[in-house]
Structure 1
Amino acid sequence: MKEVYDYIESNKERYIEWLQELCRQPSVAAQNRGMKETATLVEYYLHQTSASTEQLSTSGYPVVFAEVNTNAEKTLSFYNHYDVQPEDPIELWESAPFEAEIRNGKMYARGVADNKGNLMARICAVHAYEQVYGKLPINVKFIIEGEEEIGSVHLDEFASKYPDKIASDGCIWEFGYKNPNGRLQVSLGVKGMCYVELRARGANTDLHSANAAVIKNPAWRLIWALQTLKDENENILIDGFYDGVLEPDETETQLLEAMEYEEREILSSLGLDSFLLNLDGLELKKKLLFQPTCTICGVESGYTGEGSKTVLPSFAKAKLDFRLVGEQNPDKVFQLLREHLDRNGFTDIEAVQLSGCHPAKTDPNDPLVRTVVDNVKDVYGQEPVVLRNTPGTGPMYDLCQKYNIPAISLGVGNEDSRNHAPNENIAIDDYILGIKMMSKIIHEFAN
């Protein structure tokens, strides 16, 4: 692999320019901004390799599909996305969000960490390997969707429509980071998600708050309903909610014990004195990765501007996410929530499921896992931190585990990449290492 690594080093300026060009093209799915142009640009870079490409239609934005077919025995797929989050609030960026400025060894741009840096690293890995050896030792597929940042709402539809396109012996998932100690994290799964909006309605118009003596306040109704969901000890009070939550087995417990989680550094960076319930050590890591959550993401009602306005609101809403683990099912969780609200006297509260995805895990002993974990040190100089799953969520199940395809996550991000926030960034050195790592995986997965 020395020849490939040397080629990557000799051509790193080209690969950096490719990433800058991609990041300078906005692709905000939530606003339908730059989506067509970005899909076409992604195809352009894929054509720098021997890959054949096509844009496969869905009920939303197309999936860019590419394939390098060498008639090899094994096939590896890469899942990525070309859409990004909106750049707001723009005033908090130190450089323009779509300028892709490089300063102090980092590239700053909306989407550079999530997910264009990882996407381009994988394209460049295939390019470098082909330039040195002429031909890949495996078949490679790229599955690049345009709706990840709006919930991957049509990815399951795509997978069902094109089972032959997604078929592979393993999938490298879209994200990955170094931890605060500079060690690469490798994740073997993701949590699931049930995302819900609760809505409470009162009078058919906002009223003077003098009417609050006799007219229902939907804000209070919503608050009282929310209060029934979880107690002060973090126990979720929905009957049947914990069905399907599994205790970590022996292998998973070993991974937890070996997992680095820099408690003091994390608390200090967040300006906090302690974690929930004063947890630490193994129990803290267990709760982070193996326990579900019920989170109020936002509440909206009435007047919240400057000064005072005596108003009785006519409407209130809250957005909640339930992170799911083990064998929990997002549709079942939503059903349990509806039943819970009705049982507690809140039949008037409307509940809408906005999105849902299943938890997903890959066997730690799968050949793809061993290929990745056993070769990280060759590129990064130290062993990786292996996570049983991340505390975050993605549509991994719909594309992989549902079809018995193992999946694993690693990438070019860092502990301060600031995904979805101003000044999103990756380190240039991590980007180049990521290209080398992907080329190493391509080489070793053939064995």
Structure 2
Amino acid sequence: MEAFLEEARRLLAELVALPTVSAEGRALREGAARVAEVLEGLGLEAALHEGYGPPVVFAEGGVGERTLLFYNHYDVQPPDPLRLWATAPFALTERDGAWWGRGAHDDKGELVARVMALKLFKERHGFLPRVKFVVEGEEEVGSPHLEAYVADKRDLLQADAILWEAGGVDAQGRPYLYAGLKGIVALELRVRTAAFDLHSSYGAVVENPIYRLARALASLRDEEGRVLIPGFYDRVRPLTPLEREVLAEIPDESEALKEAFGVGGFLGGARGLEFNRRLYTEPCVNFNGVHAGYGGPGSKTVLPAEALAKLDFRLVPDQDPEEIPALLRAHLEAQGFHDVEVQVLEKGERPARSDLAHPFVKLAREALEEAFGARAVLYPSMAGSGPMYPFLHHLKAPAVGLGVGYPGSRVHSPNEHIRIRDFERGVRAILRLLELFFLGR
């Protein structure tokens, strides 16, 4: 076991050392090339597919009648702010029973876990099962080219099931898996009421853009968080009886999260089943930031000329991210906000959810429970977003996410890390899933 963990640590250290920050375009080609070498070291044939943003690493090989496709990404978030890191972000450090570094969990640690599980499978059973890998380099910036890639390569990517990029244990140490992700569309609202900033005395006769923007934002949702845009919920797919059953089995962490977040309560007083239903299966609007006027020390008596807000909509099946901006514009105009400009900031992602009754979902849950010796929590969808939809839509195969993280992994934050014991058990769970999927035992 020590040799196994040392090999994993060395491999993860090599990948973490490459600053593959997609938001800045850093080291992406080098990262793709190194991932291809790692997969070739497993005995797979790997290639860099060009023409879809940074190179997409595709690899395939092994034997068997069934095929399992792994989805991962080699890009990472920027390390900023650097002053908050206790260790160098691009130098893997082992301390306190954990591996620290940017990408240690998201998503290089997850990729290494899959590689190690396949190595263990080959050592134990004498052959490599039939697998494919898609490892992209734009996940952290919304995967703008991935849908076109999957559509173009659908025949090459065909598989019986898909193992998604991440997972782990919850705050109580319970293993979990998920069968879907929310969609997202990010927008900006902008209001201009003057050619330039004015003296605040003109506030008696000139409209203030902050007031206009605040009223526009307030019109988008009610006090409990329900979106007020007409037509917004029209495409929301009703939950199936099985989805409702699974949702009711999710442990109630609302009180623990309330304390951890330092909030007085949740919208609408949600707790228990209602909290989980909203968080995992309901769409919402969120205001990311509002920018206008003066925010420095002291006072500046100014009437700003312009105000803007950034917001995102989290979506659930079968909402369409391309439809949301048009619904928003129609709502604002109907409310008299003809002066509020709506700009889409980036290509949105569609929501996706696998059929919870599919045998692969049951198999993945069984593998987790055998590896951890505890009941696994199944989430119909996670609260976050990702590019799962093109795979489900074009490949017609189920996708399930399980992995090696925990809530304190600090994904996207300084001091990102994974606990070594979670990594080890996550690898064992993936290994067991491979055995159940390919060998039936």
TM-score, normalising length from structure 2?
Answer: 0.95
> 2:243 maps to what in 1?
252
> 2:396 maps to what in 1?
404
Question: What residue identity is the alignment partner of 2:39?
Answer: L
> 2:29 maps to what in 1?
36
> SS at the partner of 2:356?
coil
> SS at the partner of 2:105?
helix
In 2: Cα distance, 1:31 partner to 1:202 partner: 34
> 2:125 maps to what in 1?
133
Question: What residue identity is the alignment partner of 1:398?
Answer: P
Matched, 1:66 2:59: yes
> 2:73 maps to what in 1?
81
Matched, 1:229 2:220: yes
Between 1:430-439 and 1:80-89, the stretch displaced more is 430-439
> SS at the partner of 1:369?
helix
Runs of 4+ residues deviating >6 angstroms: none
In 2: Cα distance, 1:403 partner to 1:344 partner: 42
> Which runs of no fewer than 5 residues in structure 2 stay unpaired?
none
In 1: Cα distance, 2:245 partner to 2:416 partner: 33
User: 1:297-345: CA deviations, max 9, x gaps?
Assistant: 1111222222332333232221111111132111122211111111112
In 1: Cα distance, 2:275 partner to 2:322 partner: 28
In 1: Cα distance, 2:201 partner to 2:100 partner: 51
Question: What residue identity is the alignment partner of 1:17?
Answer: R
In 2: Cα distance, 1:381 partner to 1:339 partner: 52
Between 1:261-270 and 1:139-148, the stretch displaced more is 261-270
Q: 2:112 aligns with which of 94, 114, 120?
A: 120
Q: Give the deviation of 1:212 after TM superposition.
A: 3.3
> 1:27 maps to what in 2?
20
In 2: Cα distance, 1:59 partner to 1:285 partner: 36
Matched, 1:336 2:327: yes
> SS at the partner of 1:400?
helix
> 1:436 maps to what in 2?
428
Q: Give the deviation of 1:23 after TM superposition.
A: 1.1
Matched, 1:367 2:329: no
> Which runs of no fewer than 5 residues in structure 1 stay unpaired?
1-7
In 1: Cα distance, 2:92 partner to 2:407 partner: 19
Matches within 5 A, 1:206-221: 206-221=197-212
In 2: Cα distance, 1:255 partner to 1:67 partner: 34
In 2: Cα distance, 1:58 partner to 1:200 partner: 37
Matched, 1:348 2:339: yes
Question: What residue identity is the alignment partner of 1:396?
Answer: M
Matched, 1:418 2:379: no
User: 1:225-258: CA deviations, max 9, x gaps?
Assistant: 1111112122211011111224433212221221
> 2:375 maps to what in 1?
383
In 1: Cα distance, 2:2 partner to 2:437 partner: 23
In 2: Cα distance, 1:366 partner to 1:132 partner: 28
Q: Give the deviation of 1:410 after TM superposition.
A: 0.7
> SS at the partner of 2:244?
helix
Contact 1:64/1:144, CA 8 A, preserved across alignment = yes
> SS at the partner of 2:235?
coil
> SS at the partner of 1:416?
helix
> 1:300 maps to what in 2?
291
Contact 1:136/1:442, CA 8 A, preserved across alignment = no
Contact 2:171/2:407, CA 8 A, preserved across alignment = yes
Q: Give the deviation of 1:154 after TM superposition.
A: 0.5
Matches within 5 A, 1:241-320: 241-320=232-311
In 2: Cα distance, 1:35 partner to 1:307 partner: 44
In 2: Cα distance, 1:75 partner to 1:245 partner: 32
> SS at the partner of 2:348?
strand
In 2: Cα distance, 1:57 partner to 1:205 partner: 46
> 2:153 maps to what in 1?
162
Return closer, same or farther for 1:386/1:336 CA change in 2, 3 Å cut-off. Answer: same
Contact 1:187/1:390, CA 8 A, preserved across alignment = yes
> SS at the partner of 2:290?
strand
Q: Give the deviation of 1:402 after TM superposition.
A: 4.1
TM-score, normalising length from structure 1?
Answer: 0.93
Contact 2:99/2:419, CA 8 A, preserved across alignment = yes
Q: Give the deviation of 1:197 after TM superposition.
A: 1.4
> 1:48 maps to what in 2?
41
> SS at the partner of 1:112?
coil
In 1: Cα distance, 2:300 partner to 2:131 partner: 60
Matched, 1:12 2:2: no
Question: What residue identity is the alignment partner of 1:147?
Answer: E
In 1: Cα distance, 2:208 partner to 2:52 partner: 39
Question: What residue identity is the alignment partner of 1:118?
Answer: E
> 1:3 maps to what in 2?
none
Q: 1:104 aligns with which of 96, 100, 103?
A: 96
> SS at the partner of 2:115?
helix
Q: Give the deviation of 1:9 after TM superposition.
A: 5.3
**RMSD of equivalent CA atoms:** 1.7
Between 1:219-228 and 1:201-210, the stretch displaced more is 201-210
Q: 1:90 aligns with which of 74, 82, 106?
A: 82
Return closer, same or farther for 1:172/1:185 CA change in 2, 3 Å cut-off. Answer: same
Between 1:277-286 and 1:384-393, the stretch displaced more is 277-286
Identity %: 40
> 1:357 maps to what in 2?
349
Q: Give the deviation of 1:99 after TM superposition.
A: 2.0
Between 1:431-440 and 1:83-92, the stretch displaced more is 431-440
Contact 2:254/2:275, CA 8 A, preserved across alignment = no
> SS at the partner of 1:47?
helix
